[in-house]
Chain A
Amino acid sequence: MKHALAIMVGAALILLLATLTLVAMPYVQMSSEAVPEALEPYTTAQQRGRDLYIANGCIYCHSQQPRDPGFSSADSERGWGRPSVPGDYAYDQPHLLGTMRTGPDLLNIGARQSSVDWHLLHLYNPRAVVEDSIMPAYRFLFRVVDEPREDQHVVKIPEPYGPDSGVVVATREALELTSYLLSLDRTYPADTLPRAEAAEEEGEG
């Protein structure tokens, strides 16, 4: 039993060491980073849209972290924005950095594409605006009605993507998701991380 306990205690201690270096230290360093002045907290609608982004798993195809041009210059050349810094995510709970780019990076999609109607149409059927897109359609965020009410947001769908009859209106969810996408704009200037050139070179060595 002593032996078995020794193994388990040893294993736990090693993990605690790792927790110190990989959880506690980064937390201390990053939580002291300044929040950029130009960054606004999410509004209620944007936050609800963000919850929809999570619920429908957008993160599995879209990252939100343009890379450092010193590492990969293509991200900024594609217009995805400057490299992001910890402060850019100050209001993000949970983080949505993502690890996959089946689709493009979205951290600055609001700056690249600011049209509400484009986003709504794209969500209704991505192939209506981007030929051969493999993004899922989110038609369940829309309703088809015969006569839209005054307060309903009608989405004009080009042939042949619309329903056979009636008009498509956006639900509150579709509008909230769109307002979250438009809020994704981290184009304000920000100090980059304290990554000295020397440290960068050392890392690559």
Chain B
Amino acid sequence: MTPTIAILLIITFVVSAVGLLLLIWSIATNQFSHGHLAARTIFAEGEEGHGEDPAGDTVLEDTDNTIANDELQAREVADRSSRQAALAWLGSAVLWLLVGSAYGLLTSGKFHWPELLADSEWLTFGRVRPMHLNAVAYGWASMAGVGVAIFLIPRLFKTALVGGRYALWGAVLWNLGMVLGLVAINLGLSDGEEWLEFPWQVDTLFVIGGGLCAIPLLLTAANRRVSHLYVTSWYLLAALVWFPILFLLANLPVVFPGASGATVNWWFAHNVLGLWVTPIGVGIAYYMIPKILGRPIISYQLSLIGFWSLALFYSQVGIHHLVGGPVPTWLVTLSIVHSVMMSVPVITVAINHHGTMWGHFGRLKDSPTLRFVWIGALMYTLSSLQGSMEALRSVNVVTHFTHYTVGHAHLGMYAFLSLILFGAIYFIMPRLMNWEWPWRPLISLHFWLVTSGILIYVVSLSVGGWLQGLAMLDAETAFMDIVRLTLPYLEARTLGGALMTLGHVIFAVHFVAMLRRSGKERHRPTLFRSAQRARDTLEGSR
């Protein structure tokens, strides 16, 4: 048995190494000679240097009439074509964000007020906690991600969305799955594995709903009018392939019992982050940052290395969640090695995202989308490097089984992904509604509430979790003393969570106002600073 596994292991390492070498070779021999052109496919002819800001009317900004008009019209057609489908997914996402936040806050409170609403089995800790996770992971993050993808794909392919109806039906099924799944957890019918709590019968709705979304994306891809596929579409297309496979495999009932069930569980739970929400978040940032700045990403070749190395390395992680547990050591080691290798795609993405920003940080002052998206991208770099560290045995022995991991999960799912999704929604909605965001102060308020909230959240859990982990390694410390030690940090987490929840309420109110086209009709983008000052910056940066 052992030699077979050793051979297979060696094969996977060789395959990974060969893949990397192939990439290096192809770059050295200039196989990606279209890099420059490809990086510019997101701009219309002559548009480079003109930032497209949240819903600003680009034609108005184009005072010297240099941008190819037909391309801008094609973009407008693309934007209008995805309106219904994108709104259905985004609107549902905002609703689930509110539901998920409420359950999250309640869960957090129960840690330090154990008698809070404790008499009802519907509100017991062990049920509201998975309801929080599933509502934000599959309701908010996934639905918003799909909504943004539906908006971006026609734009990236410079054509109208074909078959938007399928995506609408997909949203209906997905929402139905969310409702049934959450009710099932609340009734105590959970499947019992983290990230896979929804009963497998309900999961079929997600597979069908997600599949229905793939149809318009493939039809639109077939109709595309661009010769280069921009890197964002690589990430989005791959994510849409990976998620259904992962979700289907991991939810197969009865197949994987006992300890092997645990490996499948954690392989899935980490890959749903790595191969589903990460490509979506990274892909969106790859579009938004250059688009708002009006300058192409600095290295297109690097972005492709980043993509394939993400695919190679991220798909092999997850079992490091079972370091020291009842699974074969080789398996854990494989995941640790690949977790550390993840720094390759992370660093390439960081060079591109932050390198493109370099010298243009002034734009963070006025553009809401850029501010949300870039901070999200920065947090991606941070949380990924932190994740690679956490997979190391010497760090994992402290952080495993503690609140530190929860802080890390929120750094990834929230500070990285959710901030990027917020930024993207601020960009997309004016395009879909043909209306500017009504109230500038609400965007500011939303930004400051959620960023200060997540800062308090992550810092308190990281410090508290680390201390908790150290104390647990010392068998002389009584267990209850460890519990008491964590309490102040858990209270701080509730404060952070309350700020985030308040930010979400404000965001949702603004979102609804946008749907109703409230406020005055405007022709300038709603930026953080007044229109005049923003215009001055824009002109200054040209």
> Are B325 and A65 in contact, CB atoms less than 8 angstroms apart?
yes
Which residues of A1-50 have CB atoms within 8 Å of chain B's CB atoms?
1, 3-4, 7-8, 10-12, 14-15, 17-23, 25-27, 29-32
Q: Is the interface of B mostly helix, strand, loop or mixed?
A: helix
Q: How far does the alpha carbon of A138 sit from the alpha carbon of B120 in the complex, in Å?
A: 9
> Are A56 and B475 in contact, CB atoms less than 8 angstroms apart?
no
Which residues of B110-148 have CB atoms within 8 Å of chain A's CB atoms?
110-112, 114-115, 118-121, 124-127, 129-130
- Residues of B near A139 (CB, < 8 A) are 118-119
- Residues of B near A193 (CB, < 8 A) are 326-329
Which residues of B329-355 have CB atoms within 8 Å of chain A's CB atoms?
329-336
- Residues of B near A8 (CB, < 8 A) are 237-238, 241
Q: CB < 8 Å: which of B1, B129, B327 contacts A57?
A: B129
Q: How far does the alpha carbon of A18 sit from the alpha carbon of B249 in the complex, in Å?
A: 12
> Are A132 and B323 in contact, CB atoms less than 8 angstroms apart?
no
Query: Residues of B within 8 Å of A, CB-based: how many?
Result: 99
Q: CB < 8 Å: which of A72, A86, A100 contacts B397?
A: A72
Known contacts A25-B5, A74-B475, A99-B400; is-contact A57 B242 (Cβ 8 Å): no
Of the stretches B82-90, B261-269, B382-390, B514-522, the one at the interface is B261-269
> Are A100 and B401 in contact, CB atoms less than 8 angstroms apart?
yes
Q: How far does the alpha carbon of A91 sit from the alpha carbon of B336 in the complex, in Å?
A: 28
> Are B254 and A30 in contact, CB atoms less than 8 angstroms apart?
no
Closest to A130 in B: B480
Q: How far does the alpha carbon of A61 sit from the alpha carbon of B111 in the complex, in Å?
A: 10
Shortest CB–CB separation between residue A95 and chain B, in angstroms?
4
Which residues of B477-534 have CB atoms within 8 Å of chain A's CB atoms?
479-480, 483-484, 486-487
> Are B480 and A133 in contact, CB atoms less than 8 angstroms apart?
yes
> Are A60 and B329 in contact, CB atoms less than 8 angstroms apart?
no
Shortest CB–CB separation between residue A120 and chain B, in angstroms?
17
Q: CB < 8 Å: which of A12, A18, A61 contacts B316?
A: A18
- B68: Cβ under 8 A from any A Cβ: no
> Are A195 and B483 in contact, CB atoms less than 8 angstroms apart?
no
Q: How far does the alpha carbon of A12 sit from the alpha carbon of B242 in the complex, in Å?
A: 7
- Residues of B near A99 (CB, < 8 A) are 194, 321, 400-401, 405
Known contacts A67-B325, A85-B326; is-contact A60 B259 (Cβ 8 Å): no
> Are B480 and A131 in contact, CB atoms less than 8 angstroms apart?
yes
- Residues of B near A22 (CB, < 8 A) are 263, 267, 315-316, 318-319, 331, 334-335
Which residues of A80-139 have CB atoms within 8 Å of chain B's CB atoms?
83-86, 88-104, 126-127, 130-139
> Are B129 and A60 in contact, CB atoms less than 8 angstroms apart?
yes
- B445: Cβ under 8 A from any A Cβ: no
Sorting the interface of chain A by its residue count into under 10, 10 to 19, 20 to 34 or 35 or more gives 35 or more
Shortest CB–CB separation between residue A3 and chain B, in angstroms?
5
Q: How far does the alpha carbon of A32 sit from the alpha carbon of B473 in the complex, in Å?
A: 33
Q: Which residues of B contact A (CB under 8 A)?
A: 1-2, 5, 8-9, 12, 15, 110-112, 114-115, 118-121, 124-127, 129-130, 188-194, 218, 221-222, 224, 229, 233-234, 237-238, 241-242, 245-246, 249, 254, 256-265, 267, 271, 275, 308, 311-312, 315-316, 318-319, 321-336, 393-394, 397, 400-403, 405-406, 472-475, 479-480, 483-484, 486-487
Other A-B contacts than A96-B192, A137-B114, A140-B120, 15 sampled, CB-CB below 8 A, are A1-B221, A7-B237, A18-B315, A21-B8, A26-B263, A88-B259, A88-B326, A89-B258, A97-B322, A97-B326, A101-B472, A102-B483, A130-B480, A137-B119, A194-B2
